[in-house]
Amino acid sequence: MSEKDKTLVRRFVEECQSQRDLDRLPDFISSEFVNHTAEAPLKGTFEGAKQLHEMLFTAFPDMKFVIRDMVAEADKVVTYKTLLGTHQGDFMGIPPTGKRVKCDVIDIMRVAGGKCVEHWHVMDQLGLLMQLVAVSLPG
């Protein structure tokens, strides 16, 4: 099922995330979805996933993801991708800066019954925030 699962995740990234079409979310994400790395105040549920994307689409209305690599084994699909966008709306309390951002993301999706049912991710949040507020690390 790996190729079929990779196709599902690729379509999710392209159709829901890059094309910002949340009406398609139920086609790819199970109503029983669990995001194991959701951060407060978002919940690790289907509704939380929808809220996360709404927040990102508001902050970065031209946001798109570029898939750099994708690997599948058993019931999991790992995607290394880059988020690109322009900060045009409030994001994590930071008012719009108009800055273009680039942020690497690694997602792991577990697929069952033709939908994504579990999710884990790692995102370069510090790098993203540094791009928005022009903070540099010492050293």
Query: pTM to 2 decimals?
Result: 0.89
Q: What are phi and psi of 93, to 5 degrees?
A: 80, 0
Partner residues linked to 111 by β-bridges = 116
Q: In 87-124, where do the E strands start and end? A: 100-112, 115-123
As to burial, measured by CB atoms within 10 angstroms (0-12 exposed, 13-18 middle, 19+ buried), residue 109 is buried
Torsional class of 130: left (φ above 0), alpha (ψ -120 to 50), beta (otherwise): alpha
Fold of 2-133: Nuclear Transport Factor 2; Chain: A, (3.10.450)
Every domain of the chain and the residues it spans: 2-133
Provide Rg for the chain, Cα atoms.
15
Q: How confident is the model at residue 136 (pLDDT cuts 50, 70, 90)?
A: low
Summarised one tens digit per residue, pLDDT across range 62-109 is 999 999 999 999 999 999 999 999 999 999 889 999 999 999 999 999
**Residue 69: per-residue pLDDT:** 98
Q: How confident is the model at residue 10 (pLDDT cuts 50, 70, 90)?
A: very high
**Residue 103: per-residue pLDDT:** 96
For 28, other C-beta atoms within 10 Å of its C-beta total 21
At which residue do the structure tokens 């995330």 appear?
A: 17
pLDDT over 70, % of the chain: 94
pLDDT over 90, % of the chain: 78
